[in-house]
Amino acid sequence: MRLTPQTIRSRMQEWRNLKKLHTARNREHHARMLRIVVCSHIPTTSRDVSVMPSRIVHTDTHSPRNEIVSSYTHDIPAIVLPEVVEHTIETGYCATCKKRFNAMPIPPAPVMFGPYIKRLVATLSAVHRLSHTQIQSLLFLHYHTSVSDGEIAKMLAGEAEKLRPEKERLKSAIQLSSIRHIDETSWQVCLDDGQGKFCWVMSDALSAKRVYELGNSRGKGNADRLLGTHESVTVSDDYGAYRMLTNHQLCWAHLVRGFRDLAQSTHLPERIKKHCRDLSQRLSVLYRAIDAHRDPSRAEEFAACLRDLATPFQEEPKKLRTLKTTLLKNIPRYLTALSNPRIPLTNNRAERDLRHVVLKRNVSFGSRNAKGAEHTGILLSCLMTRKAEGTLGEYLAWV
């Protein structure tokens, strides 16, 4: 085909028009991409961008105002395959010494579990209260790892021994604290060797620290060993093992609950119930007044109110008479909190810490032997403290 000047000019104009159109589309595309906002703190592995067509036909003469809306889908991997590391160890025999030497200690078994899975098992058992069967199911379902009951027991024992020094440091810190809580509950030990079937908890009222002692008796000696010799204010219930404490704050919740239960009883005559309701209401008002006005100068005023509540009443039931006798005998111990507004009036902190043990007991039914109970106490002390302080991730070493 012969190219005339007219044809050359026409094709040159078409080429310029195509170039302008291509440049305009590129600019429009880059402008859209610049308007896409991606949060830098959200881990992103893929990006899906939906862009409006470049030419949209509208009935009106106004051009549409496009805007970019970002949304995210947060998901987890379906299955995390375990990481297996092969260790090649050089070994040799010396004919002179007649000894075998290794480049590093050879493990007792050809396959050993690493530190991450051991910490995960300890956390699942102590913090999440899972049984051995539940831990096995979770590890196999999410990590394709099979673990026997014996291996789980070895992992828990090994992690407990590693955390034993940390538990002793927690215990010493709580003993030296100016205010602490103490309480106890039952903990079954199947192969009991005479140590006892109870769980003790001692909590720091001024921090998140707490210490558990499992597999001990309910005797006074265990309470003394747990509290130590430091003269701190101890908040507890009216159990006999605590009556020798000097700086002692008795729990008002137990006292209020005792009078309230009598007021709501269905086995008492109406006249006695009315008297119990009156006592319960007066005690609740007095509790709120003491909680609102921590003034030591009003100690005698509050003590007089408590003595008035403990005045005997004709034909009162045995339980009410016992409550009044206990109240009258321990009036100074109920008013210890007047000396320091930071002293709690109730032992709710220790009871909340024991609730975790009670829920775990409902799943595991206690421990097999005293050693297992001791290891459970160490794991609960360290890991539950770390969870309350927000440092459990450092133990798992995943964050």
pLDDT in tens, 29-64: 444 443 433 333 345 455 555 555 555 555 555 555
Compute the distance between CA of residue 335 and CA of residue 302 in angstroms, rounded to an integer.
8
User: C-alpha 68: how far from its chain's center?
Assistant: 41
**82-104 as b/e: b if 16+ CB within 10 A:** eeeeeeeeeeeeeeeeeeeeeee
At residue 370, φ and ψ (nearest 5 deg) are -65, -35
Instruction: List the chain residues with pLDDT less than 50.
Output: 29-42, 44, 399
Nearest Cα neighbor of 346 from 259, 280, 253 is: 253
Q: How far apart are CA 383 and CA 123, in angstroms?
A: 7
- Check if the beta carbon of residue 42 is closer than 8 Å to that of residue 72: yes
Phi first, then psi: give them for residue 385, nearest 5 degrees: -65, -45
The total number of residues written for the chain in this structure: 399
How many other CB atoms are found less than 10 A from the CB of residue 163? 21
Judge whether 327 lies within some domain. no
Burial call 11-31: b when 16+ CB within 10 Å, e when fewer = eeeeeeeeeeeeeeeeeeeee
Beta strands in 323-375 (DSSP E): 367-369
Task: Report the alpha-carbon distance of residue 289 to residue 282 in Å, rounded.
Answer: 11
Whether 152 maps to a domain, the answer reads yes
Specify the pLDDT at position 5.
Answer: 63
Cα separation, 347 vs 249, whole angstroms: 9
Q: Determine, yes or no, domain membership for 158.
A: yes
CA distance 144 to 81: 6
What is the CA angle 214-158-143, rounded to 5? Answer: 110
**Matching residue, tokens 């881990």:** 43
Residue 292's SS3 state is helix
What integer pLDDT is reported at residue 64 of this predicted model? Answer: 58
pTM for the full model? Answer: 0.75
Residue 190 to residue 214: CA distance in whole angstroms: 13
Residue 133 inside a domain? The answer is yes
Residue 381 and residue 212 in contact, taking contact as beta carbons nearer than 8 Å: yes
pLDDT of residue 40: 37
**Helix-helix angle 252-263:270-292, to 10 degrees:** 160
Residue 193 lies in a domain: yes
Burial class (CB in 10 A: 0-12, 13-18, 19+), 154: middle
Q: Which residue range(s) make up the domain with 215?
A: 112-220+367-399
Scan for tokens 């027991």, then name that residue.
153
| Residue 190 placed within a domain | yes
Q: Is there a domain that residue 17 lies in?
A: no
Number of domains in the chain: 1
Give the pLDDT of residue 18: 64
Q: Which two tokens stand for residue 35?
A: 């308007």
Q: How far is CA 121 from CA 134, 151, 156, in A?
A: 11, 10, 7
The CA radius of gyration of the chain, in Å to the nearest whole number, is 35
Q: 310 in a domain, yes or no?
A: no
Q: What counts of helices (H) and strands (E) characterise the chain? A: 13, 9
Token output for 138: 């979770």
Selection from 213, 161, 216, 220 nearest residue 192 by Cα: 216
